[in-house]
């Protein structure tokens, strides 16, 4: 019999800490892993590898295994920096294949309610990079949420005095959208930002 103290129940407890995983899902995952010891071992090993090898890049703070990361050390345009909230956002921008500059990961967004102020983010490091010189443009790609917009506003305020061009990702109608179902604020932004054809 499996008592609450058994290792399987501890595994269920650990799995339950994952987002979107409850008691039943955790049990299902645990039994699934138990049935395939090969996958279980592989998962345990990759977890340890990730813990030991993955860390933030010392320049841009994107998660990486090398230091500096492949983007910072590669032949990218080092004069333009795209500022993102986290490494997931960086990966989304990389998937678009549309950015050829470097990045700066803030590791969060300003959120006074959660006690996250500018000092908790990698803003000093960003300012240092810009002050060191050679930067022509900073593209702010924080999320279009209250926190992301607040962060963008703050960054604009502190970056402008450094004589650098500060831009923001375009607001507008997403690809494949039916204008009928797009929210009013987005339509308003799209109209204001309309382009000559």
Q: Which residues pair with 102 in a beta bridge?
A: 81
**Applying CB under 8 A, which of residues 51, 175, 178, 180 lies at the interface with its own copies?**
51
Region binding its own copies by CB under 8 A among candidate stretches 15-23, 129-137, 149-157, 178-186? 15-23
Q: In whole angstroms, how close is the CB of 67 to its own copies at the nearest point?
A: 12
Q: In whole angstroms, how close is the CB of 192 to its own copies at the nearest point?
A: 32
Return d(Cα 138, Cα 134) in angstroms, integer: 11
Q: Is 98 in the site for its own copies (CB under 8 A)?
A: no
Q: In whole angstroms, how close is the CB of 191 to its own copies at the nearest point?
A: 32
**Applying CB under 8 A, which of residues 22, 23, 58, 65 lies at the interface with its own copies?**
65
Select 44 or 146, whichever has its Cβ closest to its own copies. 44
Give the Å distances, CA to CA, from 182 to 168, 173, 174, 189: 21, 7, 9, 11
Q: Is 158 in the site for its own copies (CB under 8 A)?
A: no
Region binding its own copies by CB under 8 A among candidate stretches 80-88, 113-121, 156-164, 178-186? 80-88
Give the Å distances, CA to CA, from 55 to 62, 66, 83, 116: 8, 8, 18, 21
Q: What is the pattern of x (binds its own copies, CB under 8 A) and - over residues 159-188?
A: ------------------------------
Q: In whole angstroms, how close is the CB of 64 to its own copies at the nearest point?
A: 7
Q: Give, in degrees to the nearest 5, the angle at Cα 120 between 115 and 126.
A: 145
> What does the binding site for its own copies look like in residue numbers (CB under 8 A)?
1-3, 6-8, 10-11, 13-15, 17-20, 25, 27-34, 36-37, 39-44, 46-51, 53-54, 62-65, 69-71, 74, 86-88, 91, 94
């Amino acid at each position: 019999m499996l008592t609450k103290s058994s290792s399987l129940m501890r595994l269920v407890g650990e799995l339950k800490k994952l987002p979107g995983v409850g008691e039943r899902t955790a049990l299902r995952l645990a039994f699934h892993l138990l049935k395939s010891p090969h996958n279980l071992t592989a998962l345990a090993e990759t977890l340890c590898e990730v813990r030991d090898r993955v860390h933030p890049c010392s320049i841009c703070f994107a998660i990486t295994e090398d230091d500096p990361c492949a983007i910072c050390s590669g032949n990218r345009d080092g004069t333009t920096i795209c500022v993102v909230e986290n490494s997931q956002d960086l990966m989304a921008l990389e998937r678009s294949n549309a950015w050829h500059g470097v990045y700066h990961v803030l590791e969060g967004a300003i959120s006074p309610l959660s006690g996250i102020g500018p000092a908790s983010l990698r803003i000093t490091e960003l300012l240092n990079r810009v002050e060191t010189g050679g930067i022509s443009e900073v593209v702010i790609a924080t999320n279009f949420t209250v926190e992301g917009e607040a962060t963008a506003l703050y960054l604009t305020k502190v970056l402008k005095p450094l004589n650098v061009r500060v831009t923001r990702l375009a607001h507008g109608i997403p690809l494949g959208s039916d204008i009928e179902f797009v929210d009013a604020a987005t339509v308003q932004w799209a109209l204001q930002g309309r382009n000559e054809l």
